[in-house]
């Protein structure tokens, strides 16, 4: 997730204060991982330094003054370019899951047990995401679907790898 580009996109929708940006980011993109305030303001500072946002006005607040940020033409152009570029497909040719299985086999540890434990963790997370789909709105459901599809692919890999452990063991422990 590109936090700077996402914040720029929110600013292109309409000018906002840092607090409003954080709220909107967390509402739509921060499920399970809200954006820290410090990251919002440090990102806005870098965007301002780079000429992608400007401060349109400053209002007194209960604490520090509230600054309203506005995207510049340069920032809008960057958002346009980002939106039209496809996301890099992630084939994950090197993953923690794979590394743990191979190392378990290399070290003569029970890779089957690791795969079983990982399968249970994936299934538990799938149950949680299914509940999010059932009880949440459209944004929650779409995010949950994305996670579920990735977990399903991991489960297929776990099953395939489990069926090939003997051959993999011979490959990594000649």
Does some domain include residue 90? no
Q: Are residues 101 and 45 in the same domain?
A: no
Pairwise CA distance, residues 122 & 159, whole Å: 12
Residue 6: its pLDDT value, please? Answer: 93
Say yes or no: 80 and 108 in one domain. no
| Cα gap 114→91, rounded to integer Å | 22
Question: CA angle, corner 28, sides to 21 and 65, nearest 5?
Answer: 10
pLDDT of residue 94: 59
Residue at 89 is within a domain: no
Q: What is the dihedral of CA 120, 125, 128, 132, to 10 degrees?
A: -150
Q: How far apart are the first and last CA of the chain?
A: 41
In a domain, 44, yes or no: yes
Give the domain CATH number at 73: 1.10.10.10
pLDDT attached to residue 155 = 94
Q: Are 7 and 22 in contact (CB under 8 A)?
A: no
Q: What is the pLDDT of residues 16-51, one digit of tens each?
A: 999 999 999 998 888 778 999 999 999 999 999 999
Instruction: Report the alpha-carbon distance of residue 16 to residue 78 in Å, rounded.
Output: 18
Q: Note the pLDDT of residue 128.
A: 95
104 part of a folded domain: yes
Residue-number span of the structural domain to which 108 is assigned = 96-172
How many H-runs (helices) and E-runs (strands) does the chain carry? Answer: 8, 3
Q: Tokens 């994950």, residue?
A: 92
Whole-number pLDDT of residue 164: 96
Both 10 and 70 in a single domain? yes
Has residue 91 been placed in a domain?
A: no
Query: Which parts of the chain have pLDDT scores under 70?
Result: 1, 89-94
Say what angle helices 73-84 and 3-13 make with each other, to 10 degrees.
120
**pLDDT, position 29:** 85
Are 114 and 101 spatial neighbours (Cβ–Cβ below 8 Å)? Answer: yes
Q: What confidence score (pLDDT) does residue 98 get? A: 86
Same domain for 65 and 28, yes or no, is yes
Q: What is the pLDDT of residue 14?
A: 93
Choosing from 28, 51, 84, the residue where a domain stops is 84
d(CA 158, CA 97): 9
Q: Do 69 and 45 belong to one domain?
A: yes
Do 48 and 121 share a domain, yes or no?
A: no
Does residue 22 share a domain with residue 79? yes
Q: How many domains does the chain have?
A: 2
- Is 8 in contact with 47 (CB distance < 8 Å)? yes
């Amino acid at each position: 997730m590109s936090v700077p580009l996402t914040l720029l996109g929110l600013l292109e929708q309409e000018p906002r204060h840092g607090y409003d940006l954080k709220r909107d980011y967390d509402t739509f993109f921060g499920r399970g991982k809200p954006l820290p305030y410090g990251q919002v303001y440090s990102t806005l500072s870098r965007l301002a330094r780079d000429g992608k946002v400007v401060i349109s006005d400053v209002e007194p607040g209960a604490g520090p003054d509230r600054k309203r940020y506005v995207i510049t033409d340069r920032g809008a152009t960057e958002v346009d370019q980002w939106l039209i570029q496809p996301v890099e497909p992630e084939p994950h040719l090197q993953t923690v899951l794979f590394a743990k299985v191979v190392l378990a086999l290399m070290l003569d540890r029970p890779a089957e047990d690791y795969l079983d434990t990982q399968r249970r963790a994936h299934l538990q997370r799938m149950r949680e995401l299914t509940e999010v789909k059932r009880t949440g709105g459209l944004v929650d459901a779409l995010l949950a679907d994305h996670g579920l599809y990735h977990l399903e692919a991991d489960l297929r890999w776990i099953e395939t790898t489990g069926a090939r452990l003997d051959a993999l063991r011979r490959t990594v422990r000649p």
